[in-house]
Amino acid sequence: MSKHSNQHMTTDEFRKQGKKVIDWIADYYDQIEQYPVLSQVKPGEIRSNLPESAPLKGREYGDILSDMDKMMPGITHWQSPNFHAFFPCATSGPAILGDLISTGLGIQGMIWATSPACTEVETHVLDWLVDMMDLPKKFKSTASGGGVLQDTASSSSLVALIAARERTSHGDTNLNGSNRQLTVYTSQQAHSSIEKAVKIAGMGKNNLRLVNVDSTFAMDPKHLKELIENDLAQGLIPTFVCATVGTTSSTAMDPLKEIGNICTEYGIWLHVDAAMAGPAALCPEFRFINDGLNFADSYTFNPHKWMLTNFDCSVFYVANRKVLIDSLSILPEYLKNKDTDSKTVIDYRDWGIPLGRRFRALKLWHVINYYGVEGLQVFIRGHVENTQKLKSWIEADERFEIVAPVPLNLICFRHQNGNEFNENLVNSLNESGKIYLTHTKLNGQYIIRFSVGQAGTSLDHLKKSWDYILETVKEMEKD
């Protein structure tokens, strides 16, 4: 940006337009409840309103900003307090501002030397989080391990799998091609990103074992052990177990202690995926989710889901950073420098897939400092309390059944009238634009998922949503 350039936006104009953009975003949040939560456009509708070709000459910034009017109908309002689909993706003012500064600085922190603050703030804030959530101390950079920010939990789990593969195969990737194949275990309820990681890591989908779950949809450790024994008997090499704390379908909690004991017995890498549920450990009363985490070789959770930090921001911890670094390290000539040589700095390019890295820790810094530990606890606690109240309203209506335990902020329930009725109910609610819900299948049944976690969602919002669900059911029961 130069004040004297004809072509670039001057700093004066940037200041002027930037203020308008901040106003635009603030107005959006003021009015967010007026939009239909789920975008109601048809496929192709947004594109059909865009110019056929790119402008030959640059346009006024004000005109570019007004293009948002054409795009807003195609926005699904994830930050609406009535968004209860999937899992939350909660953001906050401080997170947005932190991200804006990161973008404004425009740095690229691939190695320590290319912006020491980018690396050191990241290391520092991730060490803070270990204490804030009472995670095993081995995950700290001051111990044997360390934390790093990845874009998503999918990337975190992939990186864990690659480190486990390299630890077991000692870098001899031919192991995979021979009949001494490496096997991977996760539950039938695990997130699809584990299967994807197995594919990307080249370990072969046929080497992925889906462990049975119990009546609470949590992994059955007995079945895990049977599968491992069976693979060993066939000369295969059990390499990686992914346990989930808060499954995507129903927030089931895999029993980490039992699974951890099995992993220790057979020398298998234990990765724990707590993508959404992880931030619950900010509150001492929810630290049951950490039981058995001391067995884990790696751990991931997403501040971009339930910790007020805008997408994308996934925390990844490893107990032994050397194994991770050995598996991903590269050092071409052009990246050599005296600080790396001194071995006194962290070069995060060796802790993940991309070389280039943005200053992602800045938004986390903003969030933690703005809310403080207590503020974040109030946020999490409020959602869990409100979810439990909603659960009691659902339970009180005998037409509905809660089909899975509700340890935190997700309710899985169904109306007694069967799959088609429930599916029609979800479609009708979503078409109304008043609320957005998604579904899952458990034991072959169509199940409605009600997920609570957006920044602005209050008990009053839940009450109104529940009343609206009952109203819709009443209409549907008439038909």
Which is nearer to ligand PLP, 141 or 193 (by Cβ)? 193
- Choose, by CB under 6 A, the member of 91, 154, 183, 309 that binds ligand PLP: 154
Pairing of strands 400-402, 436-442: unpaired
Residue closer to ligand PLP, measured from CB, 266 or 311: 311
Which of 353, 339, 336 lies closest to 157 in space, CA to CA?
353
| x/- map, 207-246, ligand PLP, by CB under 6 A | -------------------------------------x--
Least distance to ligand PLP, CB of residue 46, Å: 23
Q: Which of 148, 275, 308, 323 touches ligand PLP by CB under 6 A?
A: 275
Residue of 87, 139, 286, 301 interacting with ligand PLP (CB under 6 A): 87
DSSP lists the bridge partners of residue 166 as: none
What are the helix (H) ranges across 293-449? Answer: 303-306, 321-328, 338-342, 361-396, 419-432
Our CB check for ligand PLP shows the closer of 276 and 293 to be 276
- 3-state secondary structure labels for all residues of 145-206: CEEEEECCHHHHHHHHHHHHHHHHHCCCCHHHHCCCCEEEEEECCCCHHHHHHHHHCCCCHH
The nearest distance, CB 278 to ligand PLP, in angstroms, is: 9
Is residue 191 within the footprint of ligand PLP (CB under 6 A)? yes
If binding is defined by CB under 6 A, does position 298 make contact with ligand PLP? no
Q: How far is the CB of 32 from ligand PLP (least distance, A)?
A: 22
Does 79 contact ligand PLP by CB under 6 A?
Answer: no
- CB closer to ligand PLP, 299 vs 400: 299
Residue 189 found at the interface with ligand PLP (CB under 6 A): no
What sign has the CA pseudo-torsion 372, 374, 375, 381? positive
Whole-angstrom Cα distance, residue 244 to residue 139? 18
Angle formed by the axes of helices 459-478 and 361-396, nearest 10°: 50
Whole-angstrom distance, CA of residue 66 vs CA of residue 193 = 37
Interaction between residue 302 and ligand PLP (CB under 6 A):
yes
Interaction between residue 127 and ligand PLP (CB under 6 A): no
Q: Please, what is the end-to-end C-alpha distance for the chain in angstroms?
A: 62
Give me the residues that bind ligand PLP (CB under 6 A), please.
Answer: 87, 152-154, 191, 193, 244, 247-248, 273, 275-276, 302, 314
